[in-house]
Structure 1
C-alpha cells in the first residue's frame, strides 16, 4: 500500500509539473486573445494615421482580434512614445511611429521622456514617406545642381520654408553644406509652408512627397530631387541629393515601423513581425500604400532594428551639419 501511495504521489506531481510547463505555452500560442491598441503620435488624417488604420485592419483579419488605433498627437510624438514605453510588455499596446520619435527627437530635444532604443522592441518596418526638394516655378532650376548655382548667385537672398523639425533638418543641412546662406522660415505645418513657397514668400522647401503631390501635378511647385539615398518608385525620374550634389549619407525620409514596449516576449514579437510581413507582401496592400503616397519597405526584426539605429546616427550627423541646437 505504501509503495502504491508513493507511486501515486509521484505520478500526480509529474502531471502537475507537466501542466505547469504546458499552460504558459498554450497562453502564448493564444496571442492575441483580446483587443490590441496601436498608439500613434499624429492626428487623424495624417499619413501615419492612414497607414496605421490600414495595417490595423489587416492585423484584425489575420489575427482575429480588433487592433484599435489610438491617436495621441503632440510634442513631435513624444506623448505617444512615452505612453508606449510605460505600457506593460504583453503585446496589447503597440506603437506605429516614424523617424520623428526615433530619429529626430533625440537630437532636437535635450531631454526626452523615453529612450528610442532601450525603451522599445522593434517588430518590423512598414513604409517610407520620401521627402523632396521643391522650388517655386519662378526659380530657374530643374536640377539640384542648377538650384545650387542659382542660390549661390543670389547668396543670402533666398528663403526656405519648413513645417516640422523633420523637414527643417535636411533643408538647413543643404543650406549649410552648400553655403547658400538662405533664411529658414518656420510654419506650424507643411501645408502652410507650401502655401508660402507657392506664393513666393519663400523660394524652396523640403517636404514629404505625399503632401506635395497635388501641387506638383498642378505645376504650383517643381520637384528637383528626393532626400533618400535611393530613388523612390513613387517618382523614379527624380534623382537623389546624394547622386547629384555628392553629399554623403544624405538619406533623410519619414520611415515608419511597428514597435512594442521594451522586453516584449520573443514569441509575440516574432508572431507580429511575421504577420506584418505577410500583410505587406499582399499586392493589394502594396497598391494601397503606394496610392497613399508612401513606399512599402517591409523588413524583418534584424533589418528593422539595424535601420532604426542607423537612422538615429544619420539624422544626428545632419543636425550637426545644419548647426541646429537642441531645445
Structure 2
C-alpha cells in the first residue's frame, strides 16, 4: 500500500513541476495592459492611442486599455508612467510635451525624460497648427500677424497645458514674430479646443489631428502649420518655414514607452505588435486621415529621437529665456 502511494506521489511531482514552471514562465502579456494617455480625452494623443489600442489585440494577445491622466501639461500622467512597475502592464504614450518641451521649461518635472523611460516605438508624427475662431478679424497669416501687432496683449491663445508643445512652440513663435498674446493653459487639447470652438478663446496652437475636424466644419480657421511642406488637407495654409519662421516648424510625435527597466521581452512584444497593427490599411487610413504620418521606428531610434528633441527644446528655452507663467 505504501509503495502504491509512493509511486502515485512520484508520478505527480513532474506534473506539479511542469504546472509551476508554466505559471512562472507565463508569456507576456498574460492580462490586459494599461496604456496611460497623459492628457484629457479628445486630443491627438488620445486619438492615436485609441486607434492603435482598438486593433492591437490580434497581434498582442491581450487588449490595451487606454486611461487618461491629464494635468500639468502632461506631467501628471507621464510621472505615473515613470513610477510604474516595469513589468509591462502599465505603458504610456510619449509626446514631445511630456518628454521634451515640458521637462525643458519646468525644472520641477518629477522625472528625467532621457533616463526614466524605456522607449518602444514612435507611432506617428503630426503637424501642428495655429487656428482661430471664425470671429477673429483675420482669416490668413498676413492678416493674423498684422492684427496681433496692431493690438499687443488684446488676444489670448489656448494650449493643451503649461509647458506642452503648444505652449512652447507658440511662445517661440511670439518671440520670433514680435507679437504678444496671453497664454491660457488647459488640461489637454480636448478642453482647449472646446473653449476655442465656443469662442471663449480666439486662438489655439494645437496638433492638427484634434483640430482638423473643426477646421473641416468651418468652426476653426487654420492660419499656419508646422509641417515639412504644405499639407494635402490644407493646401492653402503656409508652413512656418514659408513665413520665415523655420525654428517653429517642428512636428509632434506620439509613441509607446514605459518605465525604465522594461524587460527586453516586453519591449520586443509591444514593438512587434504595434508595428503589425500599423500595417493594417484601416489603421493607417484612420491615422493618416488625421493629417499624421506613420513613423513606426525601432526602440533605439525612438530613444535617440527623444533625446534629440529634448536637447532642441532646452536650447529654445535658454535662447529665448522662456519661463513658466
TM-score using structure 1 length: 0.77
Contact 2:133 2:197 in 1 (8 A): no
**What is the aligned partner in structure 1 of residue 152 from structure 2?**
156
User: In 2 relative to 1, CA 107–131 (structure 1 residues): closer, same or farther, beyond 3 Å?
Assistant: same
Contact 1:187 1:193 in 2 (8 A): no
User: In 2 relative to 1, CA 228–309 (structure 1 residues): closer, same or farther, beyond 3 Å?
Assistant: farther
Q: In the TM superposition, what is the alpha-carbon distance from 1:146 to its structure 2 partner?
A: 5.6
CA distance in 2, matches of 1:191, 1:61: 33
Q: In the TM superposition, what is the alpha-carbon distance from 1:84 to its structure 2 partner?
A: 2.1
Contact 1:273 1:300 in 2 (8 A): yes
User: In 2 relative to 1, CA 292–205 (structure 1 residues): closer, same or farther, beyond 3 Å?
Assistant: closer
**What is the aligned partner in structure 1 of residue 224 from structure 2?**
225
Q: In the TM superposition, what is the alpha-carbon distance from 1:217 to its structure 2 partner?
A: 3.1
How large is the Cα RMSD of the aligned pairs? Answer: 3.1
Partner SS for 2:171: helix
CA distance in 2, matches of 1:256, 1:102: 10
Contact 2:133 2:196 in 1 (8 A): no
Q: In the TM superposition, what is the alpha-carbon distance from 1:147 to its structure 2 partner?
A: 4.0
Contact 2:48 2:287 in 1 (8 A): yes
**What is the aligned partner in structure 2 of residue 267 from structure 1?**
265
User: In 2 relative to 1, CA 220–298 (structure 1 residues): closer, same or farther, beyond 3 Å?
Assistant: same
TM-score using structure 2 length: 0.77
CA distance in 2, matches of 1:303, 1:74: 28
Cα displacement string for residues 5-60 of structure 1 (whole angstroms, at most 9, x for unaligned residues)? xxxxxxxxxxxxxx9xxx79x938x2222332222222344432332233223221
Q: In the TM superposition, what is the alpha-carbon distance from 1:286 to its structure 2 partner?
A: 0.8
**What is the aligned partner in structure 2 of residue 121 from structure 1?**
118
User: In 2 relative to 1, CA 177–65 (structure 1 residues): closer, same or farther, beyond 3 Å?
Assistant: same
Structure 2 spans left out of the alignment, 5+ residues: 1-16
CA distance in 2, matches of 1:183, 1:70: 33
CA distance in 1, matches of 2:50, 2:219: 31
Contact 1:94 1:258 in 2 (8 A): yes
